Amino acid sequence: MIAIWLAGLTTIGACVPFTNELNGGLGETFDLVFDGARARLYASELSVEYIDSGRQDRVALRVTVPVAEITTDDSILLIESHGYVSLSDDQGGQLPPMVSGQLDLIEYSPDDAAWVVGKFQASFETADDIRLAVWGRFNTQLEVIDAW
């Protein structure tokens, strides 16, 4: 009986969608305030953006991967796939070099308004050999900007 109850809890947990989250030590150095996420598909790339609508949809952080690398079957290694993590232009600086990162798409379809659900993590290393990390989760609808 307990096994059936635990199996039910696991099933219920799997149905709960991700919330939009952004965490990590990178936020101690850079302004990562956001209140929503969006996913945009361009002809050459998919961009997941954490936005602050209180500041005219300012992009706090962007995770980008080339269209050719998009998969839901395996993790997308950001460095190897030429993906990247970037800040908005108004932050006045660049992130330190990324030393590792991956994007996991749990749900994705290239159709407008399709749900894009996933998570990412990335680590950066400063000139002083200090590692800064950021990770996040997202659950948003796709906006197709450019058809390929």
Amino acid found at 125: E
Helix extents (H) in 20-140: none
- The pLDDT value given to residue 13: 38
> Between 4 and 15, where is the model more confident?
15
Cβ atoms of 62 and 86 closer than 8 Å: yes
Pairing of strands 98-107, 115-125: antiparallel
- The pLDDT value given to residue 2: 44
With CA atoms as reference, report the closest residue to 138 among 23, 12, 13. Answer: 23
Helix (H, G, I), strand (E, B) or coil at 72: coil
pLDDT, average across residues 45-61:
90
Is the pLDDT at 8 greater than 50? The verdict is no
Enclosing H/E stretch for 86:
strand 84-87
